[in-house]
Amino acid sequence: MKRYFGKILLVVVPIIAAIVLLYPTYEASQLEKKEKEAIEQAKKAGSSADSLAVMEKFRNIYGEQLKTAKARRLKLGLDLRGGMYVTMEVDAIKLIEESAQREAVDDVFNDVIAKTRSEATNSEDPAMDIFLRNFKNIARPQGKSLLNYFDVANFRDASEEKIIETLATNIDKAIDQAQEVIRQRIDQYGVSEPNIQKQGSRRILLELPGVSNQEEMRSLLQTTARLEFKLVRNNKEIVQAFAKIDKVLSNQIKKGRGIAIEEEPTAVIDSLAGDSTKVADKTDKKQDVAAAADSAVTDSSKLAKKDSANDPYAGLSQEEAQKQYALDHPFTTLFSTFFVPGKNQRIAPIYYTQDQYPDGEYMFRIPKDSIAKFKLLLQRPEVASLFPIDLEVVIDAKPDNRLKQSQNIEIFDFYSLKKEPELTGEVVTDARASFDQASNQPVVLMAMSSDGAESWARITGANLHKRIAIVLDDRVYSAPTVQSKITGGNSQITGMANTEEARLLEIVLNAGALKAPVQIIEERIVGPSLGEDSIKSGMYASLIAIILVILYMVFYYGASGAIADFAVVLNVGLILSVLAALGGTLTLPGIAGIILTMGMAVDANVLIFERIREELDHGRSLRSSVDEGFKRALSAILDSNITTFLTGAILFYLGSGPIQGFALTLMIGIVGTLFTGIMVTRAIIEMFIAKGASSFDFGQPKVKQIK
């Protein structure tokens, strides 16, 4: 056994690895079936409350499991799954045109722009290169230079090279900004597994699986992101509104016609001590809620010093009190509430068992898995009517970074904001990531137009020591406290964990007004039925190819052919598993690459087996023939596979979309062929030899078999 233990591992380990890597694909397909069943059940529910309860039950049981499986499964391309394919182009030429000084623009410059735009329509060259080429041919012969049309910030650094560098940087930023805005919108729209990538110098390619509403998606992609500055109003009025919502929903539940709640709520009740940045992290949500409910029963100070006669939980056991607390507070148990007093005072958790709440600032935190239900409840008419008409709830764009890094818990702050913005993104002229010279921490510097600077000074002056939220597409990216009146239109945003976060906020702030228009230049809808037909066609083609290869190899090479067939099947499994592990996408051309790989895989074994048969014909022993057969066939196998791999690499590098899918599966398949066709096949044959076999069926005539 020890003699061929390593060979057994060589065969078994790849099988186990393929099963492990492909299991999420199987798991996701099964969970999606259950999700469809839940959706159908929700449609048949008698009321919206029952429908919500059905979907909420599914999310609680399978939500996280389905999300994880989807992230790790083998992804299918548009040609297999159906969806929308969009190519967008950033109008970099418009950006160049608008960068010129208005008073300096003349007919010569307009001719350059017109010629540049005409050439760019049929050219893949960068817009800047086309512009400079036409400027050289049209403007320079008339004595013009870039300095005649473009301004520079520093006159001491005034040069054409500096202008070219600035324009090129602005174009790159415009493309990055457009890509980020599009990504945010796609994510919020709910498209799963989108593929968003830059193509060439000015285009953005989008593959949106499952999208069928063309008009809606077109509107979503081409609408400019809206940046707003809104006042934060996390005050007593909001807490009182939340308490009223609890009572309304609790009464509905008790009457048997309200929302469904879990036996134990999902809110994370954090225990705070010290200032507003110190959070005692919790990992067990159920224990947190239990602790909160127990505190609400036993700690008289947290219950606004109620006496036992007025205590609604008096006489109840801890478990009964917890259930009753959840029943009485179906809304506020979704999140945590904290009162933020003055400086150097302890932040206190708020429990909605009291009638009076102190004046001052409050903080609200909600776990990710409660956000969907929280939003749905806020949309209910009876809930919306209890909320102040001039306020709205907006959730943070990102979770608490420390909790996520330390314990992998996603907790978001949310805010009550004035509906009417104090200022919009039109006034922001520039935002850039930098470092604070005093603290050496990453910051984002923001500049505004003259009108914006004047308004910003008035707003900050009127709201000293109050918070103003920076909101993009209804998500809060920052909510700093105003420390002093900000004049000049320049301000600094702090609190970024690293330079990457500062860079992201820079892009987000600049996204308020796109630096260059973005246009859809190509769009295609791939219907689900076409995707299903493609899957069936691909599966049938693969199945027929495998069956024919298996039958031929077994018929012609006997037992060794069966081993080669096993190696081919294992190779296909490895291709799919590696594709899933790399986050690749399987397309119809990719299936073609797999089928081609199967032919190349058996071709390697054909070369090996033919060499072995020749050695056997020359009178060599079985072991010697096997050694020589693999040794002498190796060079031919490597030559053919390496040249094919290089061809695939060129296709992958220079191609796009379907071509890349074909090339990727081909390259993975070639590597798998070299492994399974040489090492796995040889390991199996040598195990038979190690067991004492003196002959083996390589398809040679029986009379010539070595005994």
pLDDT tens digit sequence for 402-429: 888 788 888 999 999 998 889 887 787 8
Specify whether 393 is located in the same domain as 507: no
Q: Is residue 81 part of a domain?
A: no
CA pair distance 185, 183, nearest whole angstrom? 5
Specify whether 220 is located in the same domain as 236: no
Per the CB < 8 A criterion, the answer to whether 512 and 184 are in contact is no
Specify whether 455 is located in the same domain as 380: no
Residue pLDDT, tens place only, 648-659: 899 888 876 678
In this prediction, residue 611 has a pLDDT band, given cuts at 50, 70 and 90, of confident
CA pair distance 475, 396, nearest whole angstrom? 6
425 membership: H or E segment, kind and range = none
What's the pLDDT score for residue 271? 31
* Mean pLDDT confidence for 596-600: 82
In this prediction, residue 260 has a pLDDT band, given cuts at 50, 70 and 90, of very low
Across 49-63, 176-190, 261-275, 538-552, the highest mean pLDDT is recorded for: 538-552
Q: Is residue 310 part of a domain?
A: yes
CA pair distance 157, 166, nearest whole angstrom? 12
- List the structure tokens of 270: 């954090």
What's the pLDDT score for residue 273? 28
Per the CB < 8 A criterion, the answer to whether 197 and 583 are in contact is no
The contacts of residue 16 (CB under 8 Å, 6+ apart) are: none
Residue pLDDT, tens place only, 280-290: 233 333 334 33
Per the CB < 8 A criterion, the answer to whether 292 and 324 are in contact is no
Examine the pLDDT at 110 and tell me if it is beyond 80.
yes
Residues 399, 401, 405: CA angle, nearest 5 degrees: 120
CA pair distance 84, 211, nearest whole angstrom? 6
Specify whether 300 is located in the same domain as 403: yes
Examine the pLDDT at 193 and tell me if it is beyond 70.
no
CA within 13 Å, CB half, 133 = 11
Percent of the chain clearing pLDDT 70 (strictly above): 80
Residue pLDDT, tens place only, 3-30: 667 778 888 888 998 899 889 888 888 8
- List the structure tokens of 438: 């005093």
Out of 471, 489, 513, pick the residue that ends a domain.
Answer: 513
Q: Is residue 79 part of a domain?
A: no
Per the CB < 8 A criterion, the answer to whether 207 and 360 are in contact is no
What's the pLDDT score for residue 296? 36
CA pair distance 502, 103, nearest whole angstrom? 36
707 membership: H or E segment, kind and range = none
Residue pLDDT, tens place only, 206-256: 888 777 677 767 766 765 556 788 999 999 999 999 999 999 988 888 776
Specify whether 322 is located in the same domain as 428: no
Specify whether 557 is located in the same domain as 696: yes
* Mean pLDDT confidence for 559-583: 87
Residue pLDDT, tens place only, 489-534: 877 776 566 676 677 667 666 655 566 777 788 887 776 555 567 6
What's the pLDDT score for residue 239? 93
Per the CB < 8 A criterion, the answer to whether 76 and 586 are in contact is yes
List, in sequence order, every residue forming a beta bridge with 198; answer none if it has no partner.
Answer: 204
C-alpha dihedral, 605 to 608 to 609 to 613, nearest 10°: 170
Q: Is residue 533 part of a domain?
A: yes
CA pair distance 16, 32, nearest whole angstrom? 25
Examine the pLDDT at 673 and tell me if it is beyond 80.
yes
Q: Is residue 488 part of a domain?
A: yes
CA pair distance 324, 505, nearest whole angstrom? 43
Per the CB < 8 A criterion, the answer to whether 489 and 409 are in contact is no
| Packing angle, helices 92-99 and 127-134, rounded to 10 | 50
Q: What is the CATH number of the domain that holds 617?
A: 1.20.1640.10
Out of 474, 502, 523, pick the residue that ends a domain.
Answer: 523
Instruction: Give the residue among 552, 569, 531 at the shortest CA–CA distance from 672.
Output: 569
Instruction: Give the residue among 398, 399, 414, 389 at the shortest CA–CA distance from 469.
Output: 414
Q: Strand 391-396 relative to strand 475-478: parallel, antiparallel, unpaired?
A: parallel
Out of 45, 73, 101, pick the residue that ends a domain.
Answer: 73
Specify whether 496 is located in the same domain as 399: no
Domain total of the chain: 5
Please state whether 638 falls in left (phi above 0), alpha (psi between -120 and 50) or beta: alpha
Examine the pLDDT at 705 and tell me if it is beyond 80.
no
The contacts of residue 271 (CB under 8 Å, 6+ apart) are: 280, 282, 291, 349
In this prediction, residue 362 has a pLDDT band, given cuts at 50, 70 and 90, of very high
What's the pLDDT score for residue 138? 93
Specify whether 256 is located in the same domain as 387: yes
Fill in the amino acid letter for 656: S
Examine the pLDDT at 332 and tell me if it is beyond 80.
yes
Q: Is residue 688 part of a domain?
A: yes
What's the pLDDT score for residue 486? 84
CB crowding 356-369: b at 16 or more within 10 Å, else e: ebeeebbbbbbbeb
Specify whether 342 is located in the same domain as 285: yes
Specify whether 493 is located in the same domain as 628: no
- In the numeric block, the tokens 């560098």 are attached to 165
List, in sequence order, every residue forming a beta bridge with 116; answer none if it has no partner.
Answer: none
Instruction: Give the residue among 470, 519, 522 at the shortest CA–CA distance from 492.
Output: 470
CA pair distance 680, 574, nearest whole angstrom? 13
Instruction: Give the residue among 612, 605, 613 at the shortest CA–CA distance from 629.
Output: 612
**DSSP structure class, residue 224:** P
Specify whether 445 is located in the same domain as 398: no
Which residue segment(s) compose the domain that 463 sits in?
422-513
Examine the pLDDT at 279 and tell me if it is beyond 80.
no
Give DSSP secondary structure letters for 164-181: HHHHHHHHHHHHHHHHHH
Examine the pLDDT at 307 and tell me if it is beyond 70.
no
CA pair distance 34, 440, nearest whole angstrom? 51
Better-predicted residue by pLDDT, 220 or 542: 542
Residue 53 main-chain phi, psi, to 5 deg: -65, -40
Q: Is residue 417 part of a domain?
A: no
The contacts of residue 702 (CB under 8 Å, 6+ apart) are: none
The alpha carbon of residue 392 and the mean position of all alpha carbons in its chain are separated, in whole angstroms, by 27
| Packing angle, helices 528-581 and 5-43, rounded to 10 | 140
What's the pLDDT score for residue 287? 36
What's the pLDDT score for residue 308? 44
* Mean pLDDT confidence for 136-142: 91
Q: Average pLDDT, whole number, for the chain? A: 78
Examine the pLDDT at 261 and tell me if it is beyond 60.
no
Per the CB < 8 A criterion, the answer to whether 38 and 53 are in contact is no
238-to-131, 234, 356, 669 alpha-carbon distances in Å? 56, 6, 13, 60
Fill in the amino acid letter for 107: D
Q: Is residue 288 part of a domain?
A: yes
Residues in the chain: 707
CA pair distance 443, 456, nearest whole angstrom? 19
What's the pLDDT score for residue 532? 66
Specify whether 171 is located in the same domain as 274: no
Q: What is the CATH number of the domain that holds 493?
A: 3.30.1360.200
- In the numeric block, the tokens 């992230």 are attached to 71
What's the pLDDT score for residue 497? 63
In this prediction, residue 430 has a pLDDT band, given cuts at 50, 70 and 90, of confident
